[in-house]
Chains A and B, each alone.
Chain A
Amino acid sequence: MSQPLKAAAQGMRELIAFRIGDQEFCIDVMSVREIRGWTPATAIPYAPPYVLGVINLRGVVLPIMDLSARLGMRPSEPSVRHVIIVTQVRRHTVGLLVEAVSDILTINEEIIQPTPEISSELQKQFARGILSIDRRMICMIELETLFPDVESQAA
């Protein structure tokens, strides 16, 4: 039995934590396909500002989303130190640009705390909860909220 499956069986979850600016976020490891270095993307006309463009992932045309811009923070200036987390959201494969992957966490569902009610619309829209690990605060992101209408568009 693989690590995540074993974890799930015990009510545990595995999360992948990454950094954007001075904040830490995490997503469920089950939706991550791979992590790779940044390569320049081809711009797409009429794309929203947080879509940096598309890259070639072994023959697949992969759109890259600047997660910082998507979450309403300052747009990143991609460099060779940035990484792309290739994720699978429903039937789409999408790359998320982040600054660095910091950790892989195995946590118990119970320690996920609800997000406090603050006026930040975006934080409320995307955050599923927050975790406190070793006095760090990590915000857990619900991937599907990043692509609101992907499904209805495809249907």
Chain B
Amino acid sequence: MDMNEIKEIFFQECEEQLAELESGLLKLNDGDRDPETVNAVFRAVHSIKGGAGAFGLEDLVAFAHVFETTLDCVRSNKLEPNQDVLKVMLKAADVLADLTNVARDGGTVDQARSRGLVKELEALAQGVMPSASSHHEAPAPAPAPKPVAAAAPVSPPAPSDESGFQPIPFTFDEFDGAEDVVAELPEYEISFKPRGALYAKGNDATLLLRDLSRLGEMTINCNMQTLPALQDLDSEGAYFSWKILIKTEKGEDAIRTVFEFAEWDCELEVKIAEETVDNGADEELPMIPVPFDLSSLDDEPAPAEEEHQATPASDVAAAVSAAETASNVTQLASTAARAEKREPPAAAAAAAANAAGANSALAAGQTIRVDLDRVDRLINLVGELVINQAMLSQSVVENDSNGTSSINMGLEELQQLTREIQDSVMAIRAQPVKPVFQRMSRIVREIADMTGKQIRLVTEGENTEVDKTVIDKLAEPLTHMIRNAVDHGVESPEKRVAIGKNPEGTVRLTAKHRSGRILIELADDGAGINRERVRQKAIENELIAADANLTDEEVDNLIFLPGFSTADKISDISGRGVGMDVVKRSIQALGGRINITSKPGHGSVFTMSLPLTLAVLDGMVVTVAGQTLVVPLTAIVETLQPEAAAIHSFGANHRLISIRNSFCPLIDVGRILNFRTTQANPVEGVALLVESEGGGQRALMVDAIQGQRQVVIKSLEANYTHVPGIAAATILGDGRVALILDVDAVVAASRGQVLKAEMSYAAAG
């Protein structure tokens, strides 16, 4: 594995960390004050910083460091994560994402922006509240909430803060009184208790202690009490803990830095040492002589004494040698419990939080990264398997008319198995829509900033799963719609206040499963569609006749027509000539539908319904003029057997069918597709009532229904070209190709649009 591959993995992980970071910040923004959320956010930035450091990505490290420092203030309750603080942090997360992208793909970042944010973050870390004036006219300088830090007992010699210093409940009174201590270098008491994971990750207590010894004069005590008898010893366990007294002027920070990369895998406590406390601590965790001679293990001078009167140097050596032995040992769970009980409450809480972190990491489930191509190949193969199995069943049925044999039973089982395999393989590709939704929150933030609007994005059902290909293609239309909603939908804060609305607009993005499809709703609480203007515009652009009588719904749906932009002024954000027709087309290309409902003054709701996968489709197999076609089941509302009395001629070539007293145009699929030249007799066929774009219903006439089945979608375009009226092809049980009907195109054709034979083959002939 070369460096580039490792780097690639790092960037993949960065993406995950960034997503984690953003979702954490958003949770905090919603008022979540769970310390674990803060920890998760902190960990994300910390991991990015760590990785970036390893690859020498200076810009990224520098920014992540400042960000991390500020987050740490939140973690240690010195900074209240209120809305204003989080606004800065969310922006910082965006910049961090940009920096990561630049580090990977090259390019440049907005230096001024990142520098500005560095300043803002630093100001936050120093307890200066962000001025709310940057984006809002009304500064409303409420008495800036005092940083919590001020309330914490900070003693003069206590080194500052940047590390996750947990205020621990003991008083400094006596300590402050003792002049000699103030005069001397501050002495810290460190208790360091590694877990097995620390060694498993390649860290080494020896090296940590050696690093620590560089900070100043120190005395080390190793607690080997928990070391079990040799036969009970777990060779990969961690049994030793250390108590270190160190005199240093470098401060607690420097000490914590030594343990920076080990802190998740050990119990670490750093505090100012005090003679009396020291003794007490010794009593709490008695350092008794080890029951066997260490020298017999590693031929080094054993620490004969644990009471620290030996010279510091030899003590270090002794402890280090003990640590070397400890490298192979894990701690027993019971010792951890015991240790926690005796620790001061704050430290215990921190340890518990650490443990909780580890647990949640485990609970998140184990995943592997797989190249998408491999999954796709598997899906293709399974598709073949399904077809093959169907072909096999069919030929068995044909050749074995008495249908008794065990072959049939076996086949049935095979069918079940293949279906199960297919479902499982499809599930591999299913992904939650969360990443796309998260991207939207950034877009909302940026556009809200640009337009000076206050927008709150609420997402629901972000764990709804859908095929990866659908997700990938969803981002673009969704982005466009979100832009539209923020730019055109939601009013400016002043206007909102004037009409008695909350100055902050809400954009709600919801995903849910409904009858085998995914339903995505985008709702805003803005002005809604100005129907008069839409109508006017449509008449101006000659999209509708001036005297056209349209229902409200029809007017709303006019915005999906090509060349329609409702914005009065062309803004930088939307309305650059790319209208909702582009959105509609890309949704349709996914086999989806889009609709809008709008309530003037109360906002609009865009509803998109998309297939869960682009690889299979539930279809109704029908016969038309001797050809077998598949009609997507999702399009069919109902099927009916037309009676002669229900068919009415309408003009020269058209016929209507009356269904429950309403008339619906009857479309002969065979004619539309040019399979036959004369109209078929509707009474001999079956009518499929379909719902098409824009809500209109049509009755599609086919000759007969063969059945209903799931089919694997095959591209026609791969070797041929697009066929008008046909969406794709599939292979049926008899091994023959069947075409899948493009219901919307057929309905559009019935409205008078010509099915364009836009094909090279035809052009040549």
Contacts and interface: CB of A to CB of B under 8 A. Distances in A.
B717 to A, nearest CB: 8
A78 to B, nearest CB: 15
Contact of A45 (B719, B720, B724, B765): B724
Given A59-B731, A61-B718, A93-B719, A46 B737 contact: no
A63 B387 contact: no
Given A46-B674, A59-B384, A93-B719, A40 B736 contact: yes
B258 to A, nearest CB: 59
Contact of A60 (B628, B719, B738): B719
A44 B764 contact: no
A63 B739 CA distance: 13
Interface in A34-84: 40-51, 53-56, 58-63, 70
Interface stretch (B363-371, B462-470, B754-762): B754-762
Most chain B CB within 10 A, of A46, A63, A152, is at A46
A47 B761 contact: yes
Contact of B725 (A45, A50, A54): A45
Nearest to B714: A61
B759 A46 contact: yes
B723 interface: yes
A50 B760 CA distance: 13
Contact of A44 (B628, B720, B736, B755): B720
Nearest to B720: A63
A148 interface: yes
B738 A42 contact: yes
Interface in B355-385: 380, 383-384
A85 interface: no
Nearest to A48: B765
Interface in B710-749: 714-716, 718-721, 723-726, 729, 731, 735-739
Nearest to A88: B719
B760 A46 contact: no
Given A42-B737, A61-B714, A49 B719 contact: no
B760 A148 contact: yes
Size category of the binding interface on chain B: 35 or more
Interface string A121-140: 00000000000000000000
Nearest to A45: B673
Contact of B716 (A59, A61, A147, A153): A61
Nearest to B380: A59
A84 B628 CA distance: 23
A43 B384 CA distance: 22
A51 B761 contact: yes
A46 B719 CA distance: 16
Contact of B761 (A41, A45, A48, A59): A48
A122 to B, nearest CB: 11
B507 to A, nearest CB: 38
B715 A48 contact: no
Most chain B CB within 10 A, of A53, A54, A58, A62, is at A54
A92 interface: yes
Contacts of A56: 731, 735-737
Nearest to A58: B384
Contact of B721 (A40, A62, A153): A153
A41 B723 CA distance: 16
Nearest to B763: A149
Contact of B726 (A44, A60, A149): A44
Contacts of A62: 719
A48 B757 CA distance: 10
A16 interface: no
A41 B720 CA distance: 14
A50 B765 contact: yes
B395 interface: no
Contacts of B760: 147-150, 152-153
B100 to A, nearest CB: 34
A92 B719 contact: yes
A51 to B, nearest CB: 6
A86 to B, nearest CB: 10
Given A42-B739, A59-B387, A59-B714, A54 B675 contact: no
B712 to A, nearest CB: 8
B708 interface: no
A97 interface: no
B502 interface: no
Contacts of A42: 627-628, 729, 736-739
Contact of A46 (B384, B738, B755, B763): B755
Given A40-B736, A42-B738, A47 B762 contact: yes
Nearest to B756: A46
A17 interface: no
Contact of A43 (B675, B725, B759): B675
Contact of B715 (A50, A61, A148, A152): A61
Interface in A7-49: 40-49
A54 B737 contact: yes
Nearest to B761: A48
A81 B67 CA distance: 76
A36 to B, nearest CB: 13
A53 B725 CA distance: 15
Contacts of A51: 720, 761
Contacts of A50: 761, 765
Contacts of A152: 760
Contacts of B721: 150, 153
Most chain A CB within 10 A, of B627, B673, B736, is at B736
A149 B739 contact: no
Contacts of B725: 45-46
Contacts of A70: 765
Given A61-B716, A61-B719, A46 B724 contact: yes
Contacts of B719: 60-63, 92-94
A91 to B, nearest CB: 8
Contacts of B738: 42
Interface in B621-676: 627-628, 673-675
B296 to A, nearest CB: 70
Most chain A CB within 10 A, of B729, B736, B737, B739, is at B737
A63 B765 CA distance: 16
Contacts of B715: 61
Interface in A85-119: 92-94
B514 to A, nearest CB: 31
Contacts of A58: 384
A127 B197 CA distance: 74
A32 to B, nearest CB: 15
Nearest to A153: B760
Contact of B723 (A45, A148, A149): A45
A48 to B, nearest CB: 4
A62 B715 CA distance: 10
B20 to A, nearest CB: 40
Nearest to B628: A42
A44 B716 CA distance: 10
A72 to B, nearest CB: 10
Contacts of A45: 673-675, 723-726, 739, 755
Contacts of B628: 42
Contacts of B731: 56, 59, 61
Given A44-B723, A46-B723, A60-B718, 9 more contacts: A41-B737, A42-B627, A42-B739, A43-B675, A45-B723, A51-B761, A56-B735, A61-B718, A92-B720
17 contacts: A45-B724, A46-B673, A46-B723, A46-B759, A48-B764, A50-B761, A54-B720, A56-B731, A59-B384, A59-B387, A59-B731, A61-B714, A61-B715, A61-B719, A147-B760, A149-B763, A149-B764
The 5 closest A-B pairs by CB, nearest first: A149-B760, A48-B765, A45-B673, A42-B737, A63-B720
Interface of B: 380, 383-384, 387, 627-628, 673-675, 714-716, 718-721, 723-726, 729, 731, 735-739, 755, 757, 759-765
Interface of A: 40-51, 53-56, 58-63, 70, 92-94, 147-150, 152-153
